[in-house]
Structure 1
Amino acid sequence: MLNVKPPSGRWRTPPFDPRFPNQNQTRNCCKNFLDYHGCMKKMNRRGKSTQPCEYYFRVFHSLCPISWVQRSTQQIKNGNFAGKI
């Protein structure tokens, strides 16, 4: 479930998301992190390709500090992540 390999292809910055119009992109980071892991969980459970989840992966890796991603990923592995996936 925890794929840390980046998808192939070029990606510079995520596109504008009107849900997060402000300069502070913390909520955007968190939302895309949760969406990615939720997408992976659903696709794996259904036995389908996880390729559609790559969008969320690219966005949260572009927006989130590496330390946040590492800490949250470790919390998911340990089973003590506070967010709902």
Structure 2
Amino acid sequence: MAVLMVPSSLRRYTNQQSRITLSVGSIEEALRRFSEDSGELRNHLFSGQALRKFIVVCKNGQDIRLLDGLQTSVTDADEVQIIASVAGG
């Protein structure tokens, strides 16, 4: 199963787990399964069908925007990381 690395800002949705495993075929499927139990989390990650601009997702350390975006394939050996940008001044 692929491992999804959860940033500390989103761990309230995973009972404080930093890693969850998912059997999925794409980044889109992983994020949808991750957020399926929480409309709030889904709205945090997505704007309509697209990822929000402040959310960066990497597969094995490579930004999916440089791969096939949400359609990037995922295998059991992959690690998916969500990076939520933090703004402030």
TM-score range, shorter chain: under 0.3
Give me the TM-score of the superposition, normalised by structure 2.
Answer: 0.26
The structure with more radius of gyration: 1
From the two aligned structures, give the one with the greater strand fraction.
2
Give me the TM-score of the superposition, normalised by structure 1.
Answer: 0.27
